[in-house]
Structure 1
């Protein structure tokens, strides 16, 4: 009988550990052209927020080549609120560190990097939100940017 109790305890522990971690509310990835990300091509994402008491984290996921020629690039983020109002924010996405090592997880000639944009934020109104990403560099087509993703998670207390 003690071995059954140990087995039950072990299985409970495994299930408990596996269920830890943030809850993904929304996640979508959109590819860009294999030639790069043209300035004129914006990427739009739409998600619903039902719970205004819940804190959320918003992340951008960048898939880029190891041949990306810069440490960073700028992104314009437009947010369409349920009220019809639109906001605009410029952010720098740092793809590599000071010594040239890529910040993301790389496999072969591609890297993926998750960058938090908003942490522990509450949406003031329930409804549909739209996020549009626009590359904001000096180049007409930003080379070696293969995909951009958006992820909305429940903010984990202490995490």
Structure 2
């Protein structure tokens, strides 16, 4: 009898796992960071991120962030970037955006350990991503200096912010 209960339990657990595997995966948070080659962000280096939404994900609002990791030796208080966004089935749209890294007193806004600072900078809150499919977002540094020194990583974070 004990042996039969273990078999039923195993079949039940396997059935639950199989049913869960058949459910489409919903996106709650996407985050990816890429290393900047040689810690020198050239205008030729344009990291692209691809976020795929399922139809059931399109009823939510999303917050979008740029992640920047740099050394304390970074010589500027900000970074200007060109953010290119391509919705599924649409043409890319480019926009120049300032990413502040310091406050007015010269203190880094991000969190730091030793001489490394990390920033999660909001670029859009409550974004409507109302098409299922793959969204492509790329970042190009748009400062006067090229390459831009002491930038370690650049990334994208997309998180669910609630229903529309």
TM-score class, shorter-chain normalisation, is: 0.7 to 0.9
- In structure 1, runs of 5+ residues without a counterpart are 1-22
Find the counterpart in structure 1 of residue 51 from structure 2: 47
Q: For 1:96-151, what per-residue CA distance to the aligned partner results, in whole angstroms no more than 9, with x for missing partners?
A: 11111000001011100000111011112111000111000111100111100101
Contact persistence 1:32–1:145 (CA under 8 A): yes
CA–CA distance in structure 2, aligned partners of residues 59 and 28 of structure 1: 11
Counterpart CA distance in 2 for 1:35 and 1:81 is 30
> 1 CA distance for matches of 2:28 and 2:154?
17
Structure 1 residues 104 and 70, CA gap change in structure 2 (3 angstroms): same
User: Pairwise CA RMSD of aligned residues?
Assistant: 1.4
Unaligned runs of 5+ in 2: 1-26
Aligned residue in 1 for 2:88 = 82
Instruction: Name the structure with the higher helix share.
Output: 2
Which of 134, 139, 156 is the aligned partner of 1:150?
156
Give the superposition deviation at 1:34: 2.8
Alignment coverage as a number of residue pairs: 135
Per-residue deviation, residues 26-69 of structure 1 (Å, max 9, x unmatched): 11000002341011111110011222111111111100110111
Q: Do the aligned residues in 2 keep the contact of 1:39 with 1:139 (CA within 8 Å)? A: no
Specify whether residues 44 and 105 from structure 1 end up closer, same or farther in structure 2 by C-alpha distance, changes over 3 A only.
same
Counterpart of 1:103 in structure 2 is: 109
| Superposition misfits of 4+ residues, deviation over 2 angstroms | none
Q: Select the structure of larger CA radius of gyration.
A: 2
